[in-house]
Amino acid sequence: MLGSFDYHERRDAALKAVLDLFTATTGLPIGLFETPDDGVEPIISTDSLENFEEHCKLIRSFPGGNDACDRDQCLRAQKTFERAKGALSCCHAGLWNQTVPILVEGKVRAVLSFGETLLEDGEYMQKTLARHQSAVDRLNLSPEQAGQLKDALQTVKKHTPQDISKFTDMLAPIQSFIFGTIDREEEIAHNLEKVVHELQTRLQAVIANSENFMLEAPYLKPKEIQSMANDLLSSAMALVVIVNNLGDFQHAIKFEEKLLRPLFVEAWRIYAGEAKRRNISLRLNMNRINGQEPKAEISHQHLELAVNNLIHNAIKYSFDGSPNRERFVEVDGNVEGPYYKICVSNYGIGITPEEIEEGKIFQDGYQGKLTEGEYRTGSGKGLTFVKRVIERHHGEIKVESFPKGSPEEVGQPYLNRFTIYLPLHQAKRKVSQTPR
Amino acid sequence: MSKKIIWIEDDVGIISPVVRPLERAGHKIVSYTTVNEALKHMSDLESADLLLVDMIHPPGKNNDLSHYPGLDLVQKVRNEFKWDIPIIVLTVVTNAEVKKQLDKLNIAAVINKPVRPSILKEEVEKALGI
């Protein structure tokens, strides 16, 4: 973690400060509930006992009272999580509490619960008294204890439902803002961590190749020198790809007619070492246009990096080949109307239909669900960059992923296909014509 | 004197040149890209002279230590298998909590990437006592 910064600690401190301010201002105790996977529990709260009503302190002091109160709070918070809607509800002992869902981008991140109050309205008081009696019976309180509790009930603060509504309106946006802000900061830091990881890995390759070359060069034959120099260049070029993915590529777009095949040949050369170590080969089949090598008006530097990313992804997410099972990355190119259609396919870790339909796979920093557990280093920036480049070429990129083999198969393989529609000409492109 | 080194590294496809001097010195490097894969080859692990382990940064945002498979493996080797085998950690992970845990596990060296291959060779041979 960068600088060992704990976002949860920082977020909790910010949330607690707001909760403390609420209690100091209104006199009402308040708790915040987050839901871990296995159930609802209060994570932070100003529920230090001195903020509780005497009534609540008393009931918690009776045998079974504390558990009953905690259970009751958690159940009410759970209902708010499920419905994503707040509610004014009566606790098991007759006091009224408001639950408020904290929503960030439509999802319930936590629930606030505040109150321990009586409501000044006949109907509410009726319910209070009924629940109160029920708690007395359930906890099996002695007449003396029941008397003490009834007396304490008389001292509980009173509010109107309108007061509670005002407090809610004040609280919810502040808490949502805090959660949302810290969530975003955490995501940025996490993405940065992934980028640093990827950079350091590529730097490691450059340093290793450089030193090996330096130490061995005096003893190498010319072909060996060339091979090691090539490895060094490839590892440096792979680093260039990562660095360029990070920002908006600063070089200006400049279209000129260029051959397309060399882009893929060069991209493969950069990652050839990795592909070879994993027994993955390239099948390149780019059909000619009117008998000529395929060309298009492209911004060469941009498209070169986009192709490098595509080929790198295809290799990275392929399953390893073996002597008995060939694995390959296939690149097919054909003219289709005013476009040159290029398909980059691989056989390996798949992409879910939701990720494709919702465009998540092209989102900055996104890592595919099916890559989790596979531990393949990546910053999640490559495909974002590719999409941006293709769109700047007025083209389109589509992705498909077809499961192969049995669903029960561990690490089920997928046939993945990225299809690019690249306009052959930029100046003469008709606005009305769009790829299928 | 040739030694057998088990290397657990998810990016071995990218950074394998870092062990080239070790290979040229005659040591045998057996690599696994995941801890699970390594644990399926217990005979390899048992017969190794040294373990070279990447912490393997987990996906997701959770900084729960249990999500660093490399740390899991080292803890297993020391606490469950009770092996005395020299272990070197070679990683980009700089999580302070992970480091704290590693300090309790009798690690010969913790090396942060990127590292020069010659330095790695020195540290490995020092840990092996050669």
> From the list A186, A201, A371, which residue is nearest B11 (CB)?
A201
Does residue B64 surpass a pLDDT of 80? Answer: no
Nearest chain B residue (CA) to A376:
B10
C-beta separation of A362 from A381 below 8 A:
no
Query: A166 and chain B: CB distance < 8 Å anywhere?
Result: no
Contact B14 A274 (CB under 8 A): yes
Query: B129 and chain A: CB distance < 8 Å anywhere?
Result: no
Contacts of A223 (CB under 8 A, 6+ apart): none
Chain B CB contacts of A203 under 8 Å are 113-114
**A371–chain B nearest CA distance, Å:** 9
Question: If contacts are CB pairs under 8 Å, which of residues 87-126 in chain A contact chain B?
Answer: none
Nearest chain A residue (CA) to B56:
A375
Contact A212 B12 (CB under 8 A): no
- Give φ, ψ of A32 to 5 degrees: -120, 130
Chain A CB contacts of B29 under 8 Å are none
Q: Return the top range by mean pLDDT from A53-57, A285-289, A321-325, B65-69.
A: A285-289
- Reading the block at residue A213, the tokens are 């070359």
pTM over 0.90: no
Q: How far is CA A12 from CA A1, A19, A32, A182, in A?
A: 18, 10, 10, 10
- What pLDDT, on a 0 to 100 scale, did the predictor assign at position A436? 46
DSSP 3-state of A253: coil
C-beta separation of A87 from A98 below 8 A:
yes
Chain B CB contacts of A6 under 8 Å are 63
The residue of A212, A279, A349, A367 whose CB has the most chain B CBs within 10 angstroms, and thus the best one to mutate to test that interface, is A212
Nearest chain B residue (CA) to A185:
B61
Residue with tokens 């309180």: A141
What value does the mean pLDDT of chain A take? 86
Does residue B29 surpass a pLDDT of 60? Answer: yes
What value does the mean pLDDT of chain B take? 90
Helix (H) or strand (E) holding A423: strand A414-423
pLDDT band at A434 (very low <50, low <70, confident <90, very high): very low
Distance CA A102, CA A100 (A): 6
Task: Give residue-wise pLDDT tens across range A18-36.
Answer: 888 888 888 888 888 886 5
DSSP 3-state of A248: coil
Q: For chains A and B, what is the number of CB pairs under 8 angstroms?
A: 88
Q: What share of chain B is helix, strand, coil (3-state, %, to 5)?
A: 45, 20, 40
Query: B18 and chain A: CB distance < 8 Å anywhere?
Result: yes
Residue with tokens 């230090």: A48
Residue with tokens 């020195």: B122
User: How many Å is the maximal CA-CA distance in chain A?
Assistant: 102
Task: Give residue-wise pLDDT tens across range B65-118.
Answer: 457 889 999 999 999 999 999 999 998 887 788 888 899 999 999 999 999 999
Does residue A37 surpass a pLDDT of 70? Answer: no
- Reading the block at residue A211, the tokens are 């030193």
Contact B14 A201 (CB under 8 A): yes
Nearest chain B residue (CA) to A278:
B13
Q: What is the DSSP letter of B43?
A: H
Chain A CB contacts of B57 under 8 Å are 193-194, 197, 375, 377
Who has greater pLDDT, B59 or A175?
A175
- What pLDDT, on a 0 to 100 scale, did the predictor assign at position A4? 43
Distance CA A324, CA A328 (A): 13
| Among A72-86, A211-225, B7-21, the least confident range | A72-86
Contact A375 B34 (CB under 8 A): yes
Task: Give residue-wise pLDDT tens across range A360-418.
Answer: 888 887 777 777 655 566 777 889 889 999 999 999 999 999 988 766 555 678 899 99
User: 3-state SS of A267-305?
Assistant: HHHHHHHHHHHCCEEEEEEECCECCECCEEEECHHHHHH
- What pLDDT, on a 0 to 100 scale, did the predictor assign at position A107? 82
Does residue A122 surpass a pLDDT of 90? Answer: no
Task: Give residue-wise pLDDT tens across range A77-109.
Answer: 888 988 888 899 999 999 999 999 888 878 888
Residue with tokens 């090691």: A228
**B100–chain A nearest CA distance, Å:** 12
**B86–chain A nearest CA distance, Å:** 23
Distance CA A229, CA A209 (A): 8
> From the list B33, B59, B118, which residue is nearest A211 (CB)?
B118
Contacts of A62 (CB under 8 A, 6+ apart): A139, A141, A145
> From the list A212, A373, A376, which residue is nearest B17 (CB)?
A212
Contact A201 B15 (CB under 8 A): yes
Chain B CB contacts of A194 under 8 Å are 57
- What pLDDT, on a 0 to 100 scale, did the predictor assign at position A156? 92
Contact B15 A205 (CB under 8 A): yes
**B25–chain A nearest CA distance, Å:** 13
**Helices A261-277 + A222-246 axis angle, to 10:** 110
> From the list A215, A367, A375, which residue is nearest B118 (CB)?
A215
Going by their DSSP bridges, the two strands A280-286 and A96-104 should be labelled as: unpaired
Chain B CB contacts of A202 under 8 Å are 14
Question: If contacts are CB pairs under 8 Å, which of residues 55-94 in chain B contact chain A?
Answer: 56-61, 63, 69, 92, 94
Task: Give residue-wise pLDDT tens across range A180-201.
Answer: 887 788 778 777 878 888 899 9
pLDDT band at B128 (very low <50, low <70, confident <90, very high): very high
- What pLDDT, on a 0 to 100 scale, did the predictor assign at position A84? 87
